[in-house]
Structure 1
Amino acid sequence: MAAEGEDGADRTEDPTAHRLEEALRRGDVAKSQEVSLFLSLGALTLALMLIPTFGAAKTLALDLRAFLMNAHLVPDSGSAMLGAGQRGLVAGLKMLAIPIGLVMVAALAGGLVQHRPVWSFEPLTPKFERLSPLSGLKRIFGQQAIVQFVKGLAKIGIVGVLAAVLLWRERDRFEGLVGQGPADLLGFTLTLALKLLGGVLALHAVVTIGDVVYSRLSWMKRQRMTREEVKRESKEQDGNPEIKAKLRQMRMARVRKRMMAAVPQATVVVMNPTHFAVALKYEPGMAAPLCVAKGVDAMALRIRAVAEEHRVPVIENPPLARALHATVEIDGEIPVEHYRAVAEVIGFVLRLKRRAS
């Protein structure tokens, strides 16, 4: 993790998958508040459209109508007024339960659609560097703060212009509302609010898309790494290259030692005179000959020397030696396509042994 004071200009490397995963674990995610706001406005618009169909809204309207029509019958005692107020409050809460629930679900969905759920207490952990006046000034006058300020002014301007245009178009209807009843006034107000919210949603969709892209790019830029961080993380993830090279050398040494110990038990060594050597072992009952050792250049010459020292036949067959070296692994059976050529070599060796004995 980069130090807080590192210059962003030094962070020239794209973040690794491990770096991004660590950021998510810390609760540092690419998140746009505009998504939650857009979905909340959409849920509010939907709730306003559905309010006339809610049973609770119809019940509240009937209760209010009955209360207003019979207001002169309600006792003027404090307990009676308190009871009427409580009944009205309960009825209002019932009507608002579904709209409020829709808005809350939309606000939560705004985070879930941008990233998977993250459980981290690190953002709540006090950090003393945040108390620094210099850090505070950077947050207030930094690029992020300026962008948020400009975005807020733009949204206020957009809503103001939309409201002005909408009210101007409806100016002729305002004079006729003076003599209309409460139901007509409520319907007109609801229609006007839905038009305003529809226009705000349409323009806010553009703002939301732009803010999502900006938030993602800013987050990726914030996660960029220096070359030293990439190297350090590579060492931590994959191990020290020097240690890995040393272990690889040790494994190769063990393999070479085991190969040279197996050469004396080989049946034949097939060679390209100085470049390739493959030691094969075959005994009755085997499905196919096995490769017990192979090598190139200096290793090939060592295999040949050990074979000659232990009287293992060495057959020079350059094409077969190259093909076997490329296709067969140590302790592996030879491929089917080389059965015939290897069988001829081993047959020749066995005939020589019988003739010699």
Structure 2
Amino acid sequence: MSDEAPEQDSKTEDPSQKKLDDAHKKGDVAKSQEVTTWFMLLGSAVVFAMLSPWVSSELGRSLALIIMNADQFDVEGAGFSNFFNGLAFAVIGVTTIPLVILMVCGILANLVQHRPVWSVDPITPKLSKISPLSGAKRLFSPDALVNFGKGLVKIALVGVIVVVVCWPERDRLETMVTVEPIMILLDFQEIGIKIFMAVLAVVTAIAAADFFYMRQKWWKRQMMTVQETREEYKQQEGDPHVKGRLRQLRQERSRKRMMAAVPDATVVITNPTHFAVALKYDKSMAAPICVAKGADAVAFRIRELAKENDVPIVENPPLARALFAAVDIDDTIPGEHFKAVAEVIGFVMRLKRSGGGWRPSA
């Protein structure tokens, strides 16, 4: 207990979606037993109010038939098996619908509290579950005391409700032994419905309060420490230092591929010092493409590679700035720059044809 309190106090962060999903996979969900009790009571009330006359009638008819013909039944050998099977089928036939209603109520009681859970973790054998010491801790834990208190409160409330509902009917109860059996069943059904309604009204308040209590307790149990949040972030997103290093490596590889394309460029348009954009064009292309671009140090390296490989360098600051901002590597130049780029490439090609080659300036 003393170790759990500081650990719980250190959990100051809301649980992540991954933490909630992991808890759900393990079967750790917010669940109130009082909500389940409310649904089962509701199902029992529906069965009692709507089906009890039919069930009583069918069972009475079957039992009356057995009693009236008791001397005719063969209870030896195969006859006893047939007699027992017939009785069992009669009982099952009238109890199937009530059982189905109660089963549906039990399923709904879970679905309204959480998503469907398919997990064997809660029923997996664990040594802690059979340890006497762990059992004693659970027996005298705060949760056990709270559940014990809730049980006493419910018993007391139900007892008070039964007394309050039945007290005005005490005269009718005394005369029930003098009326026909069918009237006894009707009176019993009427009083029983009143008891069910009163109990449901009280249990509704208990179930609502217990559900919010259990959900708050579950949420608090799922909360995370700052360290757990960081570790989970690293697992999901990766270590920021590692991600930064990988991003740097990708940028370096991309820059190397870009620089390797500069010697094959048709022309390099510069700012002249701040920007450099290398373009490539031949007759098979619909439009020139950008094979490299850069600013400052990268631009300087592009110009150096262009000089080393006799790639024409043309100073056109407005066009260089516009292309640097508008076009990405390996993309064709935008249509609004076709004319300006065509003039530059045409100028370079005419110089090559007239002078027998291009001589870049120092």
Q: TM-score range by the shorter chain?
A: 0.7 to 0.9
Question: Paired residue for 2:359?
Answer: none
Provide the secondary structure at the position in 1 that maps to 2:178. coil
Conserved in 1, the CA contact under 8 Å of 2:274 and 2:299? Answer: yes
Question: Using the alignment, how far apart are the partners of 1:147 and 1:182 within structure 2?
Answer: 44
Which residues of structure 1 form unaligned runs of 5+? none
Question: Paired residue for 2:287?
Answer: 288
Query: Is residue 307 from structure 1 mapped to residue 293 from structure 2 by the alignment?
Result: no
TM-score by length of structure 1 reads 0.82
Alignment of 1:218-297 (within 5 A): 218-297=217-296
TM-score by length of structure 2 reads 0.81
Question: Paired residue for 1:126?
Answer: 126
Which residues of structure 2 form unaligned runs of 5+? 357-362
Alignment of 1:1-357 (within 5 A): 7-52=7-52, 54=54, 57-65=56-64, 86=84, 91-113=90-112, 114-121=114-121, 123-128=123-128, 131=131, 133=133, 139-357=138-356
Query: CA distance change for structure 1 residues 280 and 37 in 2, over 3 Å: closer, same or farther?
Result: same
Question: Using the alignment, how far apart are the partners of 1:337 and 1:149 within structure 2?
Answer: 80
Query: Residue 262 of structure 1: CA displacement?
Result: 0.9
Conserved in 1, the CA contact under 8 Å of 2:31 and 2:214? Answer: yes
Q: Deviations over 1:262-283 (max 9, x none)?
A: 1121122233333332211111
Question: Using the alignment, how far apart are the partners of 2:144 and 2:336 within structure 1?
Answer: 71
Conserved in 2, the CA contact under 8 Å of 1:26 and 1:123? Answer: no
Q: Deviations over 1:23-78 (max 9, x none)?
A: 22222222222232222222211211232564x6433223445667x5xx855999
Give, as a single letter, the amino acid of the residue that structure 2 aligns with 1:240: D
Q: Deviations over 1:125-174 (max 9, x none)?
A: 313487374x5565345443344334333333432333233223434533
Question: Using the alignment, how far apart are the partners of 1:48 and 1:141 within structure 2?
Answer: 38
Conserved in 1, the CA contact under 8 Å of 2:267 and 2:278? Answer: yes
Give, as a single letter, the amino acid of the residue that structure 1 aligns with 2:338: Y
Conserved in 1, the CA contact under 8 Å of 2:59 and 2:91? Answer: yes
Q: Deviations over 1:81-125 (max 9, x none)?
A: x99995666544432232123213322342344222322245423
Question: Using the alignment, how far apart are the partners of 1:294 and 1:132 within structure 2?
Answer: 74
Question: Using the alignment, how far apart are the partners of 1:138 and 1:340 within structure 2?
Answer: 85
Give, as a single letter, the amino acid of the residue that structure 2 aligns with 1:119: S
Conserved in 1, the CA contact under 8 Å of 2:162 and 2:195? Answer: yes
Question: Using the alignment, how far apart are the partners of 1:142 and 1:58 within structure 2?
Answer: 49
Query: Residue 292 of structure 1: CA displacement?
Result: 0.8
- How many equivalent residue pairs? 349
Query: Residue 184 of structure 1: CA displacement?
Result: 0.9
Q: CA RMSD in A?
A: 3.5
